[in-house]
Each structure stands twice: as C-alpha cells, then as structure tokens.
C-alpha cells in the first residue's frame, strides 16, 4: 500500500498557524516541491541513515523525510510549532524515527547526521549553511534565489563572490531547482532556489579557516579593483599588518586581475602567502 503524504494545508490547519513574514515564516505548501526535495538527496545515493531538518514548521517536509530516512532530527525555534510536531508525529517520535529539538539552529548543539534537507529561514540562511558545510555531509537546502546563485557561481560569473569561494571550499555546489513565491504561504517577495551540495576535500589547504573567510570578505569589498589594490586597501578588514609585502611576494599576473576571475584554489594560495608574509592579526 502506497503511503499517503500529509497534506501541507491540513497540517497548518491542525497547527492553527498562518505564518508570519516578519518572523521569517513562509511555509512551503506546494506538494510537488515537497515531494521532490528528499529525492534530490536519494537520487545521488545520499545516506539517509540520519537526516537533519532545520526549521520543521508544521511538518510537511518532515513527513516526507520520515518516509525515506531511518532517522530524522528536526530543529524548530518556535516553541508552539515544536510542540505541534511532537504531537502530530507522536508515533514517529515514540518509535525513535523522529526527534524534535526546540531551539535556534545557530546555537543548538547539532547531532551527528548523514545529510540535511531543509527549507531554511532566509534571515539566517547564510549562517546556517556555513555551519552545516564544514560537517562534510550532503545537503539539500532551500534559499532565496539570489543567495543560491551566488553560492553556486564559478569564477567569471557575475554572481561569483566570497560566498561562492567559501561554499566551494567545502563541496561541489549545484542549483537544482528554482521555486516561485506561489509555492509558499504566505508568499515571500522573492523567488527561491534549491541547492544540492556534495562534500569533498579541497585540492588545496588554507592555514587558518577564520583568516581565509576574513581575507575573502576583505578582497570582495573591492571586487572591481585589481587584486593588487584590493589587498592594499583592505588591511583594516583583513587584519594584515603589511599588505604591500603580500603584493610584492604574490604572482604579478594574479595581482593584476580582479577578484571575480580568481579561482578558490588561487585564493587559497594567496591566503597562505598573506598568512606567511602579511603578519595578520589572527596569528
């Protein structure tokens, strides 16, 4: 007998909620999108032993994840919704298939999981994504479309920036679907998109993860400048004591380019050089 998925509208009715854009609550109600999200993980052989969902809401995606995963953990910051999930999925909770954690995904202790499939709250999507990426598990995450395009962009793309470099440091990133506002209730003012990441070890190393991220942030504040000028002009952001020493030691051709054409591996090489000769504050 085919399992019947829970209806998202019925779930919201039972929960007695309507969503609040001011609190970043936009419930995904399109059955077709909901049905596809777990498939983006399973179709590439993603491990469904223990799947993490951040922002469970009223449980429409939770329901579908429970159908494919051995175990699901949901983190939900809204106390009322966390309580509803425990009631609605009482059987799954009792059987140990589902665990509901009430808390903020940026502060809660994350369990050891094999993957995450989540419709992220837009206001915290960046921080949550970069909390998940270093864990080295496959991710299927819903973002604001503009943010997703920036994460998936490659060198030379208009959207390429520090988010692209940082995300690709941890994984191969693929935009697999765009989602219109009509798929949500209440509707957001922007389109959404689904990213799938495949974790991998980078072919390069960086001396310090925090400095790498800070250095990228500094350089991309002056993405229209040459790398030479960007390094020199942003020492107050990067924390470098001697930007000139970095420029002098770096490859001249690289210093003549702009950040939007520099690959993640080249950024990593420049970060190592900056760490060695620029005397950053974080050392």
Q: Please check if 78 is assigned to a binding site.
A: no
Is 119 annotated to bind ligand?
Answer: yes
Q: Has 76 been labeled as part of a binding site?
A: yes
Is 252 annotated to bind a ligand? Reply is no
Q: How far apart, in whole angstroms, are the C-alpha atoms of residue 76 and residue 78? A: 6
The response to whether 55 counts as a known ligand-binding position is: yes
Residue 239 has, within 13 A of its CA and on its CB side, a CA count of 15
Question: Around Cβ 283, how many Cβ atoms within 10 Å?
Answer: 12
Long-range (24+ apart) CB contacts under 8 A made by 10-13 are: 11/58, 11/59, 11/60, 11/63, 11/88, 12/58, 12/185
Residue 28 labeled ligand binder: yes
Which residues define the annotated binding site for S-adenosyl-L-methionine? Answer: 26, 28, 55, 76, 104, 119
Which residues define the annotated binding site? Answer: 26, 28, 55, 76, 104, 119
């Amino acid at each position: 007998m085919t399992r019947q998925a829970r209806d998202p509208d019925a779930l919201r009715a039972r929960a007695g909620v309507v969503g609040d854009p001011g609190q970043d609550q936009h419930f995904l109600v399109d059955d077709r999108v909901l049905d596809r999200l777990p498939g983006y993980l399973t179709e590439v052989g993603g491990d469904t032993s223990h799947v993490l969902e951040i922002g469970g809401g009223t449980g429409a995606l939770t329901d579908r994840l429970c159908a494919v995963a051995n175990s699901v953990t949901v983190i939900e910051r809204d106390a009322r919704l966390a309580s509803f999930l425990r009631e609605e999925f009482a059987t799954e909770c009792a059987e140990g298939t589902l665990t509901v954690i009430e808390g903020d995904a940026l502060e809660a202790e994350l369990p050891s999981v094999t993957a995450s499939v989540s419709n992220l709250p837009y206001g915290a999507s960046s921080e949550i994504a970069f909390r998940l990426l270093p864990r080295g598990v496959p991710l299927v995450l819903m973002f604001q479309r503009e943010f997703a395009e920036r994460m998936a962009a490659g060198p030379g793309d208009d959207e390429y920036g520090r988010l692209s470099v940082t995300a690709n440091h941890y994984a191969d990133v693929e935009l697999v679907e765009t989602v219109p506002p009509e798929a949500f209730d209440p509707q957001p003012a922007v389109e959404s998109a689904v990213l799938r990441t495949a974790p991998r070890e980078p072919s390069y190393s960086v001396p310090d993860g925090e400095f790498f991220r800070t250095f990228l942030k500094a350089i991309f504040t002056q993405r229209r400048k040459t790398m030479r000028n960007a390094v020199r002009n942003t020492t107050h952001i990067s924390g470098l004591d001697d930007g000139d020493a970095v420029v002098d030691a770096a490859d001249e051709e690289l210093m003549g380019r702009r950040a939007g054409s520099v690959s993640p591996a080249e950024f990593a090489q420049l970060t190592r050089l900056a760490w060695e000769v620029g005397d950053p504050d974080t050392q």
